[in-house]
């Protein structure tokens, strides 16, 4: 039913999803361009879908607090936010349609998501919206939309380095400016159902170091770019140093946009896009890895179904011993750098990028456990859980994905610890039972204890790394030879996990 003559103002609905911010939000900005329009905001919380996808409770709680901040911000500019708790994506799409009919919405605005189920949801919505309601979609969560950096044949790159080269060429001429917050509306309205709390996770802890709200996120980003980014190339691999940005949790739910990250970087390092070295260029490289993984799942939706990109790796016979997996989860493998990282993850929901690679390599290459078990566990714990980056990182470490680490490259957990936590400061922070082990022995405490007749409250290694390495090489090589596997060259260090 269309509005009667004499009431020309249109009704706009902004459907928030993974973009919980007022600043630099393309869908919100477009909905607010018509100053005479009445604008509503909606967020749907599909709790059973999140549970099925393994989204961590701490990330949902983090989202909840940001929605409270978003609601306050929207109210200040005259836009009511309705938060609807539902079961799955289908329920969410049906509610949007019902809302449009009930409130006689003329235009729906939202920012695209690229995961498989989310794409199906949005296609269904587009097909079933009332005829009198128009749909406006925007590419917002990436610097460049999927397909914008394809090869000359119009196909998605399967190797990171040429993707990055093409991506940066396109990025240099793209419009990546950040949009301001919308001004207060001329027509302010109220609507039933816009009160908080939005869903039952408000009491779940997500860590005092993560302050909710856009202002806190922007301050964290700008402080990193001002104080730390210049040394990022030197400090990024050291978990014992505070050298990373820690903005991944805000990026994952869209409290920050990638354009804001890029612009904050360019404000401090104007030539970062064209540089090949230096902290600014290296941090930009992490943003490009994030883009790479998003572009991959858009081009190859089967990656969203826990399928390896290299099909021959799906025939590897994995270790089904639950005790080995539980030792990894609980941080009692007997390898200090692995155990410290896993305990930090369990307690805080975050893990340093270098440590993510180390613990993933250990699970797959030392314990020969299916990488998908690790991927799911990470998602169940991470405050910055993100399907494209998490899947991409795990498939890289497991040597099952696009441009992954070669199957024959296996991290040694002892030497990795010695290299990236040389004094053991990080290990002691999370393994207090090793506080008395000397600096030079911190990554092999069992040898020190045996030599000095000391009883440690710390387990022996669950596997011998050298023997485990040979077992894994044999397992991969046997399947690869039978399948005629042809591995692509390694492009270098993996990124994009934070």
Burial of 101: CB neighbours in 10 Å, binned 0-12, 13-18, 19+: middle
- What are the binding residues for FAD? 232, 244-248, 283, 286-293
Pairing of strands 38-46, 107-111: unpaired
Beta bridge partners of 82: 42
Burial of 233: CB neighbours in 10 Å, binned 0-12, 13-18, 19+: middle
C-alpha closest to that of 359 among 372, 376, 346, 340: 340
The alpha carbon dihedral of 367, 369, 372, 373 has a sign of: negative
Catalytic residue among 15, 50, 289, 448: 289
**Residue 481 Cα distances to 364, 408, 465, angstroms:** 19, 13, 24
Residue 423 CA to residue 441 CA, distance in Å, equals: 9
Catalytic status, residue 394: yes
Contact 47, 91 (CB under 8 A): no
The alpha carbon dihedral of 472, 475, 481, 487 has a sign of: negative
Residue 97 CA to residue 80 CA, distance in Å, equals: 18
Catalytic residue among 15, 50, 350, 394: 394
Catalytic residue among 15, 328, 350, 371: 371
Q: At what angle do helices 89-103 and 116-128 cross, to 10 degrees?
A: 30
Catalytic status, residue 289: yes
The strands making up 81-86's β-sheet, listed across from edge to edge, are: 81-86, 38-46, 11-16, 107-111, 134-138
- What are the binding residues? 232, 244-248, 283, 286-293
Catalytic residue among 68, 214, 286, 344: 286
The alpha carbon dihedral of 128, 130, 131, 134 has a sign of: negative
Catalytic status, residue 497: no
C-alpha closest to that of 384 among 336, 348, 350: 350
Residue 460 CA to residue 447 CA, distance in Å, equals: 10
Catalytic status, residue 353: yes
Which spans in 182-278 are helix H?
214-227, 232-235, 248-252, 258-268
To the nearest 10°, report the CA torsion of 46, 117, 126, 48: -20
> Using alpha carbons only, what angle is made at residue 109 by residues 291 and 390, rounded to the nearest 5 degrees?
25
Q: How far apart are the first and last CA of the chain?
A: 47
To the nearest 10°, report the CA torsion of 68, 69, 74, 75: 70
C-alpha closest to that of 59 among 43, 47, 73: 47
Catalytic residue among 117, 353, 386, 391: 353
Catalytic status, residue 396: no
Contact 185, 36 (CB under 8 A): no
Contact 482, 316 (CB under 8 A): no
Write out the catalytic residue numbers. Answer: 286, 289, 318, 353, 371, 394
């Amino acid at each position: 039913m269309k509005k009667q003559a004499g009431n020309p103002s249109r009704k706009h609905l902004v459907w928030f999803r993974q973009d919980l911010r007022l600043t630099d939000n393309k869908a919100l900005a477009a909905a607010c361009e018509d100053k005479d329009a009445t604008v509503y905001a909606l967020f749907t919380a599909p709790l059973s879908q999140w549970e099925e996808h393994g989204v961590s409770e701490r990330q949902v709680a983090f989202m909840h607090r940001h929605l409270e901040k978003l609601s306050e911000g929207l109210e200040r500019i005259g836009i009511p936010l309705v938060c609807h708790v539902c079961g799955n994506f289908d329920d969410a799409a049906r509610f949007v349609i019902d809302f449009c009919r009930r409130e006689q919405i003329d235009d729906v605005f939202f920012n695209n998501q690229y995961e498989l189920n989310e794409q199906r949801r949005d296609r269904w919505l587009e097909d079933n919206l009332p005829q009198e309601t128009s749909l406006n979609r925007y590419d917002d969560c990436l610097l460049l939309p999927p397909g914008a950096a394809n090869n000359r044949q119009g196909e998605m790159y399967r190797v990171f380095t040429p993707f990055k080269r093409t991506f940066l060429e396109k990025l240099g001429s793209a419009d990546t400016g950040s949009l301001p917050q919308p001004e207060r509306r001329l027509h302010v309205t109220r609507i039933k159902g816009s009160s908080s709390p939005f869903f039952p996770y408000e009491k779940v802890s997500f860590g005092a170091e993560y302050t909710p709200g856009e202002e806190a996120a922007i301050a964290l980003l700008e402080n990193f770019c001002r104080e730390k980014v210049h040394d990022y190339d030197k400090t990024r691999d050291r978990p014992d140093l505070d050298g990373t940005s820690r903005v991944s949790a805000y990026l994952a739910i869209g409290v920050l946009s990638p354009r804001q990250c890029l612009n904050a970087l360019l404000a401090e390092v104007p030539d970062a896009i064209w540089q090949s070295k230096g902290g600014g260029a290296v941090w930009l490289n992490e943003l490009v890895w994030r883009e790479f993984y998003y572009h991959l799942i858009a081009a190859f939706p089967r990656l969203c179904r826990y399928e390896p990109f290299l099909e021959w790796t799906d025939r590897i016979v994995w270790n089904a011993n639950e005790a080995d997996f539980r030792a990894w989860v609980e941080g009692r493998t007997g390898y200090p750098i692995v155990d410290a990282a896993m305990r930090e993850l369990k307690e805080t929901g975050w893990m340093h990028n270098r440590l993510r690679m180390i613990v993933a390599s250990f699970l797959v290459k030392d314990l020969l456990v299916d990488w998908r078990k690790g991927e799911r566990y990470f998602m169940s714990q991470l405050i910055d859980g993100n399907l494209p980056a998490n899947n991409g990182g795990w498939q890289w470490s497991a040597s099952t994905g696009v441009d992954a680490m070669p199957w024959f490259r296996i991290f040694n957990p002892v030497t990795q610890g010695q290299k990236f936590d040389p004094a053991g400061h990080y290990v002691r922070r999370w393994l207090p039972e090793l506080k008395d082990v000397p600096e030079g022995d911190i990554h092999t405490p069992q040898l020190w204890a045996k030599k000095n007749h000391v009883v440690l409250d710390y387990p022996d290694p669950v596997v011998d790394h050298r023997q485990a390495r040979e077992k894994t090489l044999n397992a991969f090589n046997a399947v690869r030879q039978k399948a005629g596997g042809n591995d692509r060259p390694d492009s270098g260090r993996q990124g994009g996990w934070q």
